[in-house]
Amino acid sequence: MNNLEFQQNLLDLAEKDFLLLTESERFAHQLLWRFRRECLLGGRKGWETPAITTLNQWMERLWMELWPDSWPASQYKRWHVLQQCIETIPPPDPLQRDIPLILALDESFEHCLRYGLDPGDGDPANGLVEWRRSLWNSFHELLARDGLFHPAALPQKLYSVLSRLPERIPPKLAAAGFEFSGFWEKKLLDRKSTRLNSSHT
């Protein structure tokens, strides 16, 4: 199956009122453009909008609809809190208390959370890893005090909620073109979705 055939299969699902989730915004926009173009060529209104969006956008919207007690922290907030934590728990030498360190820490926490790892736990390790774990625990606690959490934890939080409220998952849901989804994203998608993949996406 080539890329155009794959996209046509997805558009056929959109016509059947499926919610289509994609990994990238670019692919979602490509599908929306093709859908509207086919509407116009078929004499239909070109502004008809099918349910095609990215997984991240869908998760954020669903989380808002659930009226949660906590919210994903913004980049600015995360970096500000990390700076506070670094001042309280200084890094080991030769690390410098600077912006590159803050960015690297935020990125490492994101990777851990995406792939189902607790950034504050694990087997005994070297001083650098132990320092990062202590820093995470402090960072996580400070965010929680403000009703916030790291956005990379959203798939895990949604998975927990949807395990209790399966009716919140759309009955017609398809996930397309996911090659790099994280641990909790996969579990979330596998709950009730049709997985469609193509090496051409």
Per-residue pLDDT of 80-117, as tens digits, reads 999 999 999 999 988 999 999 999 999 999 999 999 99
pLDDT at position 199 is 32
CA dihedral sign of residues 134, 137, 139, 145: negative
pLDDT at position 50 is 84
pLDDT at position 39 is 79
pLDDT at position 193 is 60
pLDDT at position 134 is 96
* Distance (Å, whole) CA 185 – CA 181: 6
| Local confidence pLDDT in tens for the 201 residues of the chain | 677 888 888 888 988 889 999 999 999 999 988 888 887 877 776 566 788 999 999 999 999 999 999 999 999 999 999 999 999 999 998 899 999 999 999 999 999 999 999 999 989 889 999 999 999 999 999 999 999 999 999 999 999 999 898 888 888 888 887 877 899 999 988 876 655 543 333
pLDDT at position 197 is 47
